[in-house]
Amino acid sequence: MEIQGYYLPDDLYYEENHFWVKEEDGLLVMGMDDFARKMAGEIVYIQLPDEGKIIKAGKKFAKMESGKWLGKVFGPVNGELVAVNEELEENPGLINEDCYGKGWMFKIRPDDIGEMANLLHEPEEIEKWLLAEIEKYAEDAEDK
């Protein structure tokens, strides 16, 4: 769906810190959504932890940076990190170029795939959440 110029595909699940998640062959693929990548500007660095790292839902497990912003990547579910997108090491800009495709970031083996239900997915939930986010960032931008 598109909300005020931000594109969020319907088939994905969203973590409230602006990470998308989708299921693929029993694993969860994770990336950054269109809103966040537009707010952040060009990503210059993303931390790619070693495979095997334990992921806890709601807890930060990696950092990323754009020219002006330091961001945290939060675990969408409980699980284990099984793969990272190695292209991002020398080309983090892929996140800006194609955040839902080539710019995917991590693959997680979930302890319980059912935890995906905790993420935002229904169109009405997503719309409400995103509009609130848009407003919040607009206020912050004014303060700054």
Q: Tell me the closest approach of the beta carbon of residue 63 to other proteins, in angstroms.
A: 9
Asked if 42 and 96 count as a contact pair (C-beta separation under 8 A), the reply is yes
- Least distance to other proteins, CB of residue 50, Å: 8
Residues in a beta bridge with 29:
22, 107
| Token representation of residue 23 | 């299921």
Q: Is 108 left (phi over 0), alpha (psi -120 to 50) or beta?
A: beta
**Residue 139 in the binding site for other proteins (CB under 8 A):** no
Residue 76 Cβ vs other proteins, minimum distance, rounded to whole Å:
22
Question: What is the smallest separation between the CB atom of 123 and other proteins, expressed in angstroms?
Answer: 33
Residue 87 binds other proteins, judged by CB under 8 A? no
Is 65 a binding residue for other proteins by CB under 8 A? The answer is yes
Listed ranges 29-37, 40-48, 107-115, 117-125: which one lies at the site for other proteins (CB under 8 A) = 40-48
Percentages (nearest 5) of helix, strand, coil residues in the chain: 30, 35, 35
Smallest Cα–Cα separation from 17: which of 130, 131, 94, 135?
130
Q: Which residues bind other proteins (CB under 8 A)?
A: 42, 44-45, 48, 50, 65-68, 70, 86, 89-90, 93, 144
